[in-house]
Chains A and B, each alone.
Chain A
């Protein structure tokens, strides 16, 4: 039995989502709450499966799964190693907590009639991301990328204002352009090698890195994925998308979708582009580090000037993606582990922050920073959680934000990219400024008459408890950082491998 389970676990992580997405509307015909429990059980199952996969590959060899029994170069292969099972666990955990959170907030933000469709599309959204993470076939990655993006457009369009349609449309246009760039890049790689399997591709690309075809392919893929990731000059879709979507979707998206695009770039950089070896005189990691540094600074600076809390968090997300890129592009074990840890940490922090913002919205139907004055007295628990999360975002010791920044700086010092250190310190300062403004409004200002329009008197336990779990984990993993650090260090060793460190 356990053998059967281990063999089929990679594909079952995806199949539960297919069944969940189909069963949710069917149950919705009977009762709306049944489709909610369907979404809850599906995400819970996938979380259990991903944690099981993580422990399994941490202790043993990577798992392979051949769909339809076709051997790798011909068929689609699912491959689970420590890197992707780690992110798999993060994504499924965030999506699970978001569903719990949604029990209270979805009812107030989305029409009753649309609930089953909402849960179905939400499961497709998460399932697509799990597919990206688990597959080892580059075209399959494209297909899953489009599945998750299409579901994402629909979810954003379900937002509470009429402008959410426009936000969704802008994301749709830019997201499709990005995915099509990715598709062109795949076409060039196929042209050069005649294969789509990543492992096979890596072998056949050896010695072809100086051909123009491969360079063009890399350029297209990197630009396409950076569009999906919202790296600085290509970030225009993200602030509107996060601001105008329902609170649950802001929380789930902030924790998952850009991280998955980042994973895609990391995986392609290391497995097939061979960033470790460097190719044809182009300093690939140098380029990415410069772009990521600009992203960090630009995202933080723009965030300072925002008046809407959700928009400020969205720009902060753009900046934080830079940390993940900067850590993983340095080709150093510690920096890579730091970048990987930041995927976990930022997923927890930003999801929790969007959850708190959703809580403010639930009670006062406003997320304007000026309307939050004196909220520390009216909503003490939520404001306290916001304070802890802000400290964690800044990177105060004993919170998770500190751990990942520490490892990135350690790696930067080891590998000689000294420019990264001031960038990270400066960005921490900027983060302190823009979060400080909100915290100042929350605790040190008297409430004005304008924000007395209370919509709901009490915030449901589901919303409070899911946020509290994330806040607790932010501190727990900040103090007892042993487990995630061990896992990401081992993942870094596996990915960077026997390559000499720079």
Chain B
């Protein structure tokens, strides 16, 4: 059992992080905490991608010997490239989310989801922007 966990510890870390992030997204009412949860959630996927790119005994996918006179095993570089794109996406999502939160705070004076809903329910306002 312990070997089963220890052998694949990187996947387990990805799963644990994913659950932590998912919990934060669902359970937290603070919008910034939700964004943090989303980031943890996406980071777990990055770890998962990096894990699947690992080749036994492989090294970083940079050509050490351009002439090719040495036998070097490289990791699979493609998931690294894919995850670079996904990181860019994640950064953009975070930026947009934070921008929206700034605007929400300016309009409502709060970043708690239930407080915002309460304010909206009590004093609905049209054309406030």
The residues of A with any CB-CB pair to B shorter than 8 Å are: 111, 139, 142-143, 146, 150, 153-154, 157, 160-163, 165-166, 168-169, 172-173, 176-177, 179-180, 183-184, 187, 190-191, 365
Contact = CB atoms under 8 A, between A and B. Distances in A.
Given A180-B45, A184-B45, A161 B100 contact: no
A180 B82 contact: no
Given A153-B96, A160-B129, A165 B103 contact: yes
Contacts of A179: 89
Contacts of B104: 162, 165-166, 169
B108 A162 contact: yes
B101 A365 contact: no
A191 B97 CA distance: 31
A187 B50 CA distance: 10
Contacts of B117: 166
A160 B48 contact: no
Contacts of A183: 45, 86
Contacts of A111: 129
Interface in B28-50: 31, 34-35, 38, 41-42, 45, 48-49
Interface string B93-129: 1001100110110011000010011001000011111
Contact of B129 (A162, A190, A191): A162
A162 B126 CA distance: 8
B120 A163 contact: yes
Q: Which secondary structure dominates where chain A touches chain B?
A: helix
Contacts, number: 84
A151 to B, nearest CB: 10
B92 interface: yes
Contacts of B35: 173
A485 B104 CA distance: 47
Interface of B: 22, 25, 31, 34-35, 38, 41-42, 45, 48-49, 52, 78-79, 82, 85-86, 89, 92-93, 96-97, 100-101, 103-104, 107-108, 113, 116-117, 120, 125-129
Contacts of A168: 100
B128 A169 contact: no
A172 B94 CA distance: 10
A172 B125 contact: no
B126 A160 contact: yes
Contacts of B41: 177, 180
Contact of B116 (A139, A143, A153, A166): A166
A150 B93 contact: yes
B128 A162 contact: yes
A191 B129 CA distance: 48
Contacts of A190: 52, 78-79, 82
Contact of B34 (A153, A173, A191): A173
A333 B82 CA distance: 36
A365 B42 CA distance: 40
Given A153-B96, A190-B78, 19 more contacts: A111-B129, A142-B86, A150-B92, A154-B96, A161-B128, A162-B104, A163-B120, A165-B104, A165-B107, A172-B100, A179-B89, A180-B41, A180-B42, A180-B45, A183-B86, A184-B48, A187-B52, A190-B52, A365-B127
Contacts of A172: 93, 96-97, 100
Given A154-B96, A169-B97, A143 B89 contact: yes
In the A-B complex, the 7 residue pairs with the closest CB atoms: A162-B107, A146-B89, A162-B128, A191-B52, A165-B104, A169-B100, A165-B103
